[in-house]
Structure 1
Amino acid sequence: MLSILPPPVTWLAVCLPLLLAFALLGARICVLRRRLARSQACTARLKQRLALHTAVLDSIPQPIYVRDAEQRLITCNRRYEELVGASLVSLRGRPPDTSEQLADVVGDIAELSEDYRDVIASGRPLSKARCLHIQGAKRHVLNWVAPLPGPGDAVTALAGGWVDLTERHDMLAQLAEAKARAEAASRAKSSFLASISHDIRTPMNAVAGMLELTLKRPGLPPEDHRMLATAHDSALALLALIDDILDLSKMEAGKLRVCAVPTSLPALVDEVLQMLGPVAARKHLPLVPVIDAGTAPAHKADPLRFKQILGNLVSNAIRFTDHGEVRVHLRGGPVHAGKQEVELTVSDTGIGIASADQARLFQPFEQAHDRSRPQSGGTGLGLAICRRLVAAMGGRIRLESEPGAGTRVQVTLRLPTASAPAAPVPTAPRPCAVAAGSLHVLVVDDHAPNRLLLKWQCEHLGHRVDTAADGREALARLTTPAPGQDDPFDLIICDCAMPVMDGLAFARTLRERNDALARVPVIGCTASAVPEDHHAARQAGMDGVLVKPVGLEALGEAVRTYARAGRHRPASMPVPLPWPARVADAPSPAPGSDRWCEICQAMNVQCDRFRQ
């Protein structure tokens, strides 16, 4: 029997499957190697990007952090680690209330956690000022927190940081301190100027008043009259200079107030020219007003400041013009939206101004140089004050001049139009038995020269006068009349600043009485040019205030006004109310600031005249 044997196994049959298996394995290995290489390259790129992001985060000088929706710290930069005093490893995964280091820095952790919850719940960023304690130092920071939305716009994390504002905070504190020092210096300057004004006005009141009384004497030799008039004019010019300096100081301190009321500009022009007419007449110069028909009958403007501007300009024109004329042209443009552009032009035929001098004339204490002419006697403040006043009224000023051909100054203001201004309170008629010369006046002043001056002035006006050196002595004179004195006092003129009992205390004491003495008019007399002092005098019970130097005209008008008002005051009204009154300003040859009229306006008193 033949046995059946399997066919012989060849080498090829055995090796071929193995070769195929090895080939497939090699291919798989190659694929895996390529995938591994790509994965390693991707990992390297991710590590590189992560390192770059970490480097960028660490390069930011402000501390920055990221927390998840559970307020657990995810990451932060190196600056955050430095300020908190802990590493990222120790802080990662911990909410704020579990970090003692963060609690030492922030302080109120509960408030910080509440802010995080608000940002996560609302999805809105938050910025809040905080005070941190970092390395033993107090730092002022701005803590900002921004939501980081995830899928579906749900807030899954938040980013935050601190912006150090300590330097800014310190700088603001330094600025506030510097501002306070500057304001204190400004107040000290104003107080110093007011004190200087008071101290100069007190003796100058006696000087100017005595000179004025002497000039009134009949039979005075012409040469003596000229010398006394020159001294009187110089005294008033000195006081005008003081007023100008006070005005300029107020403007530089930003305390200039402009009070716009319905007023007639043509009437103001006429008033100023009437007041300066005698000055121009001495040089035989006509003052020519030109009022265009297109000018509105009334505007809302500050009449005192307008007159001060015009007075300074016309005064300068008169001072530097020897021949020809001074022309004042008021022109109104078309009215738009209830406002009219008004041009006020003052032109003269004087000596003119060189172009090199024109720009600096608007600076304080600057004057044109003309060696061919003597000094004009001006102070160099007129145009500087005009420029500031025009700017305060929202206008502009322009000067055009040519040597030998005259000067032209144009002021442009855009003013609201208004209905006709209210008619002024008429001056009470002068014929009056009591006001004419039979008043019994008590003069109270601690300064003997001023007390004597007021006595002589009142006697010159035809009144009978008694005097007292302070408020206490005045009360004694009122309550205990001298032997043989049966008639009561009709009027009291009292200085505001006195020892023992000053004028304000005297007025308050007098008004508190329940007898006829409480109704005696009291006129305050002060060397202070500060409106607040005048208001305080009226609040104390004074009927009015006169500012030294007090001229005969101003004193006479005040005596007539307040004596008449006192006689008609009912017994049930012992304290005078601030009713409008009219007070005539004392004339002055040097145009300047309208200090007395400004005081009258602050006290609700209408001023009759523009101070020259």
Structure 2
Amino acid sequence: MANISDVVYYATSDNICRYCSPSVSEVLGYDSEQLVGRDIRGLIHPDDLAALHFPEAQDFQRVQIRVLHTDGRYLWIEFTLRLMAEGTQYSVLAVGRDITERKIVEQKLQESVERYTSLKKYNHDAIISLDLEGRIINGNEKACQLTGYSIPELAGMNVGRIIGAEHLGEVIAYSKEGSPAEVNIDHIWHREGYSVEVLTTIAPIIINQETVGLYIIAKDITDQKKLLIAKEAAEKTNRAKSEFLAMMSHEIRTPMNGVIGMTDLLLEMSEPGSLQREYLDIIRQSGDTLLAIINDVLDFSKIEAGKTILHEEPFMLMPCVDSVLELLQHKADKKGLKIEVSIGPDVPEHLIGDGERLKQILLNLVGNAVKFTYTGGIKVTLRVLARAGGSVTLEFTVADTGIGIPESSRGRLFEPFYQLDHFIDRRHEGTGLGLAITRQLVEMMGGSIALDTTVETGASFVFTVKLREESGSLPDSASGTEGDETLSGERALRILVAEDNEINQIVLRKILEKRGYSVDVAGDGLQVMEMAREQSYDLIFMDVQMPRMNGLEATQAIKETLPPDKQPVIIAVTANALKGDRELCLAAGMDEYISKPLRSEAITNIVGKFF
């Protein structure tokens, strides 16, 4: 046994050493002769003496005890003990190995684990420490709650039992990375057999620049998952509501096309100053009011459902502003109000952005100013706030001398459906959506809007929008100048109206025939294709939603089958303008896009754009 590096000793039942291998001198510093005949218990740390007792009916055990070195230190020795019976007496054969360095590492590991888990005991995350073999060393209180096991029960357990055997190799592999990592462990198994959804992170335990173990940090996301499901359900309900509103608005706009279109035709036929003309004006005004309400509902539902898109197109600023003022000037004149405009000298004229949405913002704000003002007037001020990288930020101020807004109501002004009913009587009609839509459009255009609270009388709204500057002049079509309304004598165009609604067929046909055009009607997409092959048409007004074949499919078929010299101009006609619709129409080969209800002047202008 002289060549064995481990310590080997033999002791009788009285604990007297009868033999000790020479290797004891290298391990503990003693000569083997010094130990023979000596009670070995005198070398063992008092706290470890109990480990030497054999359990009943067991003749083999492995123990880790501290043994005194000749220099006064206690070293950790792992002994394998074999109990040998000799009649009524017994003896013990022991083989021991120095594990002091390993125990120091384990002690540091345990201290690190205990320090980390104690710091985290109030944390909402479960923390489980384990060695590189996947055996659990310790855990915090949250780990006990998550798994259903106590800390003593967790200690020594294979971690695969709670994370799943399929993830054990993955966890151990991450120990070699040396940095925190998120792993694909999405559940922890409870002792009762059910799983808990978690978000798991692994972090190495490093001692003396060496990875000696791992932390598994698991966040219980059950509550967050429930909140997410509830949030998604609420958003789904909200989207369904918005889509329903959009659908209903679409369904209402379609018959409105007949009401407004026929009213326009009758107004053109009636004698100025007649009683019939007066009645028709009332119908037209009521139709416009109803259409404004429908447009508000449609716009708000589209924005809320995320189906609104801004169009980046060249436009001229002054015609945009002037067109808004012209629309409202008649109402202002009836109330004796003056509308003033002040524009800074450095404000650019040519811009790129969504001019129609800017007009809508101004129309809402200036329209409100006219509505709530009875004496005095309205002033629109425009100045440059900033310039950078070819973009310009414009600041608009719309101020009036009207009834003002109470301080108690200012915080809710931009909420949807909010009306100041507690101080505004029912002379002021509307949906309560105008300012909510305005705010959303302003924010989509990279700006903000607020009520100026420093104004003592009336109300003053300030908003900003970010647009790109356009270099050079714009073509006439972008300047806001509309086409000539008297085109009937220039050319006898042949036009096909593709529309499945009979009333809308009549309206559009009458408007076009009154201007001298030759008009045919098709009721669905397949009929459009057949008629386009048989006849040569200059222009087709194509309803997007039709039976058998929709307008997009019919347009694609016409573009693919007709020779270039027989290709008509195709105008998309729709009762709804959702996000992407315009792009879909243009991608299908349509040349322009117009929405219902159709106005006589709008029809004239769209024809005049191409002929």
Q: TM-score, normalised by structure 2?
A: 0.67
Q: Is residue 533–residue 562 contact of structure 2 (8 Å, CA) maintained in 1?
A: no
Deviations along 1:223-265, one digit per CA (max 9) or x if unpaired, are 2212211111211221221111222233444555556677664
Matched position secondary structure for 1:181: helix
Structure 1: tracts of 5 or more residues without a match: 1-35, 482-487, 565-612
* Secondary structure at 2:469 match in 1: coil
Matched letter for residue 397 of structure 1: A
Q: Which has the higher contact order (CA 8 A, sep 6+)?
A: 1
> Taking structure 1 as reference, are residues 459 and 344 closer, same or farther at Cα in structure 2, changes over 3 Å only?
same
- Partner Cα separation in structure 1 for residue 392 and residue 134 of structure 2: 69
- Who is 2:364 aligned against? 312
Report SS of the residue matched to 1:541.
coil
How many Å apart are 1:379 and its aligned residue? 3.2
Provide the C-alpha distance between the structure 2 equivalents of 1:233 and 1:256, rounded to a whole number of angstroms.
28
The aligned residue for residue 507 of structure 2 is 453
After superposition, residues 94-113 of structure 1 pair within 5 angstroms as: 105-113=164-172
Q: Which residue of 1 aligns with 2:355?
A: 303
**For residue 365 of structure 1, what is the amino acid of its counterpart?**
F
Counterpart residue number, 2:5: none
Instruction: Tell me: CA distance 1:227–1:373, structure 2 relative to 1, closer, same or farther (3 Å).
Output: farther
Q: Distance in 1 between matches of 2:605 and 2:303?
A: 31
Cα deviation, residue 370, structure 1: 8.4
Cα RMSD of the aligned pairs, angstroms, is 4.7
Paired with 1:536 and 1:336, the residues of 2 have a C-alpha distance of: 33
Partner-residue secondary structure (3-state), 1:345:
strand
Q: Does 1:292 align with 2:351?
A: no
Please say if 1:246 is aligned against 2:298. Answer: yes
Residue matched to 1:552: 600
Task: Indicate the residue corresponding to 1:466 in structure 2.
Answer: 520
Matched, 1:408 2:459: yes
Question: Which deviates further from its counterpart, 381-390 or 444-453?
Answer: 381-390
SS across alignment from 1:407: coil
One-letter amino acid matched to 1:314: V
C-alpha separation between the residues in 1 aligned to 2:534 and 2:358? 50
Structure 1 partner of 2:240? 188
Which residue pairs with 1:331 in the alignment?
Answer: 383
1:539 aligns with 2:598: no
Structure 2 residue runs of 5 or longer lacking an equivalent are 1-41, 51-64, 67-106
**Cα displacement string for residues 184-227 of structure 1 (whole angstroms, at most 9, x for unaligned residues):** 33432232122112211111111111111111114366222122
Compared CA separation, residues 498 and 302, structure 1 to 2 (3 A): closer
How has the CA–CA distance of structure 1 residues 325 and 414 changed in structure 2, closer, same or farther, with 3 Å as cutoff?
closer
1:442 to 489, 496, 504: 496
> 1:331-370 to 2 correspondence within 5 Å?
331-332=383-384, 342-369=394-421
Secondary structure of 1:436's aligned partner: coil
**Higher alpha-carbon deviation: 271-280 or 449-458:** 271-280
Contact in 2 for aligned 1:294/1:333 (Cα 8 Å)? no
Q: In 1, distance between residues paired with 2:402 and 2:154?
A: 89
Question: Are the structure 2 counterparts of residues 300 and 395 from structure 1 closer, same or farther at C-alpha, using a change threshold of 3 Å?
Answer: farther
The letter for the 1-side match of 2:554 is F
Question: Are residues 1:276 and 2:328 paired?
Answer: yes
CA–CA separation in structure 1 for the residues paired with 2:465 and 2:495? 49
Q: For the structure 1 residues 374 and 125, does the alpha-carbon distance in structure 2 shift closer, same or farther, using more than 3 Å as the test? A: closer
Tell me the amino acid that sits aligned with residue 442 of structure 1: L
Q: Distance in 2 between matches of 1:349 and 1:128?
A: 64
Higher helix share: 1
Q: For 1:97-176, what aligned pairs fall within 5 Å after superposition? A: 105-116=164-175, 118=176, 128-130=183-185, 133=189, 135=191, 136-139=193-196, 142=200, 144-149=202-207, 153=208, 155=210, 158-165=212-219, 167-168=220-221, 170-176=222-228
Paired amino acid for 1:146: P
Q: Residues 346 and 409 of structure 1 are in contact (CA less than 8 Å); yes or no, is this contact kept in structure 2?
A: yes
Show the counterpart of 2:289.
237
Secondary structure, aligned partner of 2:427? coil
Distance verdict in 2 for CA 1:521–1:106, change over 3 Å: same
Cα distance in structure 2, aligned partners of 1:233 and 1:513: 45
Q: Is the 8 A contact 2:484 2:605 kept in 1?
A: no
Alpha-carbon distance between aligned partners in 2 of 1:85 and 1:494, rounded to the nearest angstrom: 70
**1-structure distance, mates of 2:392, 2:252:** 43
**Are the equivalent residues in 2 in contact too, given 1:312–1:383 (CA < 8 A)?**
yes
Supply the distance in 1 between the matched residues of 2:163 and 2:385 (Cα, whole angstroms). 71
Shift of residue 178, structure 1, vs aligned partner: 3.7
Secondary structure of 2:490's aligned partner = helix
CA distance in 2, matches of 1:536, 1:128: 42
Q: 1:531 to 1:78 in 2, by over 3 A?
A: closer
- 1:81 is displaced (CA, Å) by 11
User: Is 1:395 paired with 2:453?
Assistant: no
Change (3 A) 1:352 1:154: closer
More displaced 10-residue stretch of structure 1: 290-299 or 426-435:
426-435
Structure with greater strand percent:
2
Report the counterpart of residue 578 of structure 2 in structure 1. 530
Q: Is the 8 A contact 1:295 1:333 kept in 2?
A: no
Separation of aligned partners in 1, 2:428 and 2:163? 75
Instruction: Summarize deviations over 1:51-95 as a string: whole Å, max 9, x none.
Output: x9899699869564564x8x5969556999996999989997x9x
Query: Which segment is superposed worse, 103-112 or 346-355?
Result: 103-112
Q: 2:151 & 2:412 partners in 1: Cα distance?
A: 67
- Aligned-partner Cα distance in 2 for 1:106–1:477: 70
Residue 610 of structure 1 aligns with which residue? none
* Residues in 2 aligned to 1:281 and 1:451: alpha-carbon distance in whole angstroms: 37
Matched residue type, 2:490:
A
Q: 1:272 to 1:161 in 2, by over 3 A?
A: same
User: One-letter code of the match for 1:458?
Assistant: L
Which secondary structure does the structure 1 equivalent of 2:459 belong to?
strand
Q: How many residues align?
A: 497
Equivalents in 1 of 2:111, 2:151: separation in Å? 18
SS of corresponding position for 1:473: helix
Distance 1:231 1:72 in 2: 82
Contact preservation (8 Å) 2:309, 2:579:
no
**Which residue number corresponds to residue 554 of structure 2?**
506
Which amino acid letter does the alignment assign opposite residue 469 of structure 1? G
Partner of 2:254: helix, strand, or coil? helix
Change (3 A) 1:140 1:194: closer
User: Is the 1:511–1:519 Cα contact (8 Å) retained in structure 2?
Assistant: yes
